[in-house]
Amino acid sequence: MFVVTAAPVAIFLCVLTMLGWGSWANTQKLAGREQWRFELYYWDYAIGVGLSSLVLALTLGTLGPVGPGVMDNLQQANSSSIGYALASGALFNLSNILLVVAIDLAGMAVAFPVGVGLALVIGTVGSYIDTPKGDASLLFAGVVLILAAMATSSMAHRRLPRTGKSGQRGLLFAVLAGCLMGFFYPQLARSISPAFVSGEIEVGMLTPYSALLLFSVGLVASNLVINSVFMRVGKLTYADYFRGSSRVHAAGIAGGTIWLLALAFNLLAAGVAGPAVSYALGQGAALVASLWGIFIWKEFKAAPQGTGRLLSVMVAAYVAGIILIGAATL
């Protein structure tokens, strides 16, 4: 399998994770321009996750110079490691569908700082407790700044003109998504052998590529149940999905592929930087998504004068928090 051993490369992969996790939701916004409901979008998103994890497993996860290939690794994996990876995929799937609902109701510039910011705090603390790697004082100072950015984002959102209860519901879904999303990464990290960088895979544990493949199985399998419930609540049928254009289907598959590749970069970086630092840096995606929402999708164009200062504080707090978290691994 292919692994990363240099700290600068690991940090670079974390930055790619941040860009990928912060940009995939643009595909949902693009599909939404054609009145494509989030429930229908999410089927293609799940397909993108599943296909890309399979491609990675059969290429970088099998043909690289270090450690066992995916199939050999899966044959010796124990039930605990397999269970952690599958459960992580199912847990993430539920949380991410809630985040997609939040984006649909409140926009990227609100859903990501609140939902992903909360997930960052929970996931970073959980990952550090499991694997205490990195400078704790810098790491948690960065987390505090992320919390400040979340609070500022909520303050800015409250200044928007009221358009019914959709914005409030969007915030609620973002909080629910963040509470759940914060737990998927520690679960996934528990399934992966900490020494995978050297090729020494502990008996019963997984390589990052095997974990990704099982994660995607958990996501796709759970999606058959979870998204079917959302479809029924939204009064949609499976026939509605097949009426979609090739453009909206491609957008959803691209969204899932972008997100899964970003997760792969993050897991590879974690072997050097540690899961807590790697995850926290990757979840700087909230900053990236906020910038997309503010400057490209103009989600705050109706806000009163002075809202720009709040958004500037939010961005500054995120940038400072990400810098401190990145410094924690050096």
The half-sphere exposure of 81 on its side-chain side, counting CA atoms within 13 A, is: 23
Give the alpha-carbon dihedral of 267, 129, 142, 134, to 10 degrees.
Answer: -70
**Nearest Cα residue to 42 out of 241, 234, 180, 214:** 241
163 phi and psi angles, rounded to 5 deg: -125, 50
The half-sphere exposure of 128 on its side-chain side, counting CA atoms within 13 A, is: 20
DSSP secondary structure letters along 45-88? HHHHHHHHHHHHHHTHHHHSSSS--HHHHHHH--HHHHHHHHHH
- Work out the pLDDT band at 109, boundaries 50, 70, 90: confident
* CA–CA distance, 76 with 67 (Å, rounded to integer): 13
* 257-293 tens-digit pLDDT: 999 999 999 999 999 988 878 888 888 888 899 899 9
Average pLDDT along the chain: 91
**Single-letter amino acid, residue 53:** S
- Bridge partners of 163, per DSSP, are 165
**Nearest Cα residue to 228 out of 49, 99, 45, 42:** 42
Evaluate if residue 183 carries a pLDDT over 80: yes
**Single-letter amino acid, residue 225:** V
Of how many residues is the chain composed? Answer: 330
Exposure letters 224-238 (e unless 16+ CB within 10 A, then b) = eebbeebbeeeebee
State percent of the chain over pLDDT 90: 63
Residue 184 has which token pair?
A: 């998927």
- Decide if 69 contacts 213 (C-beta within 8 A): no
* 191-204 tens-digit pLDDT: 999 889 988 899 99
- Bridge partners of 192, per DSSP, are 206
Alpha carbon distances (Å) from 35 to 32, 188, 249: 5, 35, 13
- The full set of domain ranges for the chain reads 7-327
Q: 192 by DSSP, 3-state: which? A: strand
Average of per-residue pLDDT across 104-126 = 85
Determine the pLDDT at residue 241.
Answer: 97
Average of per-residue pLDDT across 164-187 = 86
Determine the pLDDT at residue 263.
Answer: 97
- Count of CB atoms within 10 A of residue 22's CB? 25
- Decide if 259 contacts 42 (C-beta within 8 A): no
Name residues whose C-beta falls within 8 Å of residue 323's C-beta, 6 or more positions apart in sequence: 142
* 32-74 tens-digit pLDDT: 999 999 999 999 999 999 999 999 999 999 988 899 999 999 9
* 294-326 tens-digit pLDDT: 999 998 888 898 899 999 999 999 889 888 877
Name residues whose C-beta falls within 8 Å of residue 164's C-beta, 6 or more positions apart in sequence: none
* CA–CA distance, 248 with 241 (Å, rounded to integer): 10
